[in-house]
Amino acid sequence: MSQKSIPTRYDTGILNELNGTKAYFNYKNSATNGALTFAHQKRQNMVIKSETPIGDNTVLTLFGMYNKIDQNVPVGATKAQIAEFGSNYGLNNDPTSQAYYGYNRDKITTDIEYIGIKSLLGNWEVDNKLYTYAYHHDGYNGLDPNGETPNGTIYGANNVPGQRMSMNYRSFGDIFRTARNIGPGKFKAGIWLDRQNNSRTQYEIDDTLGGAYNATSMLAATDRDMTDTLTKAQPYVEYDWKPTAQLTITPGIKYAYFRRTINALVNQGTGLPLDYAQSWSKALPNLSVHYAIEKNWTVYGQWAKGFLAPNLNTFYTVNPALNQVAPEETTNIQLGTVWQNKALTLSADVYHIDFNNKIEKRKIGSDTIYYNAGGAIYKGVEGEATYYVGNGFSLYGNGSINSAKDKLTGQWLPNAPDKTFAAGVIYNQGPYYASLLAKHVGKRYGDLAAGIPIEELSPYTVANLSTSYSFKAASGPMHNAKVSFQVNNLFNKTDIFGLAGYTAQNGTSLYWTLPGRSYQLSLSVGF
């Protein structure tokens, strides 16, 4: 894998002629040929931010970030493909193949902007952000890049079938927060408002003919043509009560409201028109307690209710009104402690998440019905430690032992490792920095079949090396400059680490493998 990156950054400092405005600009252009074959990517990123004081108690912030990605994306490989072509197999360069990289391409642009105001109005602290963000995606793929579906379209037996999709998403919202000291603590309140608009299409096409519809008409070639919205409102209040200098008790409550709508000419999953809407709401209390046993030793506890509105896919049925689906809910508990002195920092916690109203689906005739079925228990213990040995050297480690099981069957849930660990050594002194860290991910399962975990995935360990040198020149071209060198996957592990899904034709399992060893050299310079 080769990669190149060209970053540019500029800080204005304080501009007295603009009332003390500070501004920041960053631009980055990067390209890589990918860890997998023909998985190319080009990426551009730009960030602009300014802060302007208004009077003595108000700051106005303007922010914008813009991204553009052009990439060739594999969908995963079968074990047969990995054995034949190697662990780095992704796509090929054969225009007669559905796995040709030119037919498997994503063009994505995103942006986010906000106007923020922080102010002190009398005794009230006010923080408001008016924002918008968007995601625009034009995607192309061969119908079956894994080779189980033969070529052939209405235009010819050897023509390459494919798909073309689009997704255009825009969100508008506002986050308002306020706080003031009242009695032995601080009162806080606010509200989050958000409106999301989304349109999605997908068509069957002939890649050999440059994207001609692979059907007798555009409508016949349409897999989906739909628009949907999601409206959210979440007001909250909480109070940081300090009965003593060492103890803080914070009760609070949030009210969550969601409303989904869908208007589809061709609904995903059914191919039929649909115009439907549904709303959900719930009050969600929470409580946290922090206690300082000593200046360097704190214990804490947190309890909270969680709530997740049903996914849009519960509308991918002939009649969503038949779904008796309640929102998924959680009860979350965490207890922990943090202790530190000049040489050693320790932290540990235990957690327990009671997950209810798990959404399942079943077929009744030609329709898919969604319903709630049981839940799951997630629990575990986590810990982290950093010990300063001396002369710039520190030892670091963290780990977790986890359990994620279905409440009814007791079976392990997909994509949840039974343990994770990381350990290594860090050197940080003067202009020099270096770290050698290894991360271990334990056994997990890729999927369930009839409630039984399948596709067991073996544990793996990856080590990464990172070094850097910071120039201390007070001025000149190397002012605030830093050169960095990284080696990812130091020992070149290429094991299977994830289930990517299944082929459409035969249901053959697809997998992801660890990217092989890669190197990155970068230089950043401040102006």
Over residues 143-155, the pLDDT tens digits come to 999 888 999 999 9
Strand partners, 494: none
Taking residues 368-385, report their average pLDDT: 86
Taking residues 273-298, report their average pLDDT: 96
**Angle made by CA atoms 299, 303, 306, in degrees to the nearest 5:** 145
Taking residues 308-333, report their average pLDDT: 89
Q: Which of 93, 95, 202 lies closest to 138, judged by CA? A: 202
Amino acid at position 512, single letter: W
Q: Which residues contact 79 (CB under 8 A, 6 or more apart)?
A: 509, 511
**Distance between CA atoms of residues 514 and 36, nearest Å:** 10
Which tokens hold the place of 343? Answer: 């040489």
What is the Rg, in whole angstroms, of the alpha carbon atoms belonging to the chain? 27
Is residue 449 scored above 70 in pLDDT? Answer: yes
What is the reported pLDDT for 4?
60
Backbone angles phi, psi at 291, to 5 degrees: -135, 125
What is the reported pLDDT for 500?
86
Is residue 364 scored above 60 in pLDDT? Answer: no
Is residue 2 scored above 70 in pLDDT? Answer: no
Over residues 148-206, the pLDDT tens digits come to 899 999 999 999 999 999 999 999 999 999 999 999 999 999 999 999 999 999 999 99
What's the pLDDT band for 408 if we cut at 50, 70, 90?
confident
Which H or E element spans position 79? helix 79-85
* Cβ-based burial of 98 (10 A; exposed 0-12, middle 13-18, buried ≥19): buried
CB 455 within 8 A of CB 447: yes
Q: Any idea which residue has 């780095």 for tokens?
A: 88
Residue 340 CB neighbours (<10 A): 14
What is the reported pLDDT for 372?
72
Q: Any idea which residue has 């270096």 for tokens?
A: 434
Global pTM?
0.84
What is the reported pLDDT for 477?
54
What is the reported pLDDT for 286?
97
Over residues 56-115, the pLDDT tens digits come to 899 999 999 999 999 998 988 888 888 888 888 999 999 999 999 999 999 999 999 999
Q: What is the 3-state secondary structure (H, E, C) of 174-225?
A: EEEEEEEECCCEEEEEEEEEEEEEEEEEEEEEECCCCCEECCCCCCCCEEEE
Taking residues 389-411, report their average pLDDT: 94
Q: Which of 170, 200, 326, 325 lies closest to 263, judged by CA? A: 200
Taking residues 401-426, report their average pLDDT: 93
What is the reported pLDDT for 75?
87
What is the reported pLDDT for 359?
76
What is the reported pLDDT for 527?
53
**Distance between CA atoms of residues 290 and 242, nearest Å:** 10
**Distance between CA atoms of residues 305 and 251, nearest Å:** 12
Q: Look at 41-45, 175-179, 405-409, 421-425 and tell me which has the smallest mean pLDDT.
A: 405-409
The per-residue pLDDT of the chain, averaged, comes to 91
Over residues 474-525, the pLDDT tens digits come to 555 555 688 899 999 999 999 899 988 888 778 888 898 998 898 888 877 6
What is the reported pLDDT for 502?
85
What is the reported pLDDT for 269?
86
Category of 353 on φ-ψ map: left (φ > 0), alpha (ψ -120 to 50) or beta: beta
Taking residues 44-53, report their average pLDDT: 95
What is the reported pLDDT for 48?
96
Category of 16 on φ-ψ map: left (φ > 0), alpha (ψ -120 to 50) or beta: alpha
CB 244 within 8 A of CB 284: no
**Distance between CA atoms of residues 300 and 4, nearest Å:** 45
Which tokens hold the place of 466? Answer: 């990172």
What's the pLDDT band for 397 if we cut at 50, 70, 90?
very high
Q: Which residues contact 392 (CB under 8 A, 6 or more apart)?
A: 427, 428, 429, 430, 432
What is the reported pLDDT for 475?
54
What is the reported pLDDT for 450?
76
What is the reported pLDDT for 128?
98
Which tokens hold the place of 111? Answer: 């942006």
Under DSSP, the state recorded for 77 is B
What's the pLDDT band for 35 if we cut at 50, 70, 90?
confident
Over residues 287-303, the pLDDT tens digits come to 999 999 999 999 999 99
E-state strands within 246-343: 247-266, 274-294, 297-308, 328-340
**Distance between CA atoms of residues 467 and 450, nearest Å:** 48
Over residues 205-258, the pLDDT tens digits come to 999 999 999 999 999 999 999 999 999 999 999 999 999 999 999 999 999 999
Is residue 345 scored above 80 in pLDDT? Answer: yes
Q: Which of 319, 333, 236, 330 lies closest to 276, judged by CA? A: 319
Over residues 12-33, the pLDDT tens digits come to 788 888 888 999 898 988 888 8
Under DSSP, the state recorded for 84 is H
Which H or E element spans position 437? strand 432-441
Coil, strand, or helix at residue 43?
Answer: strand
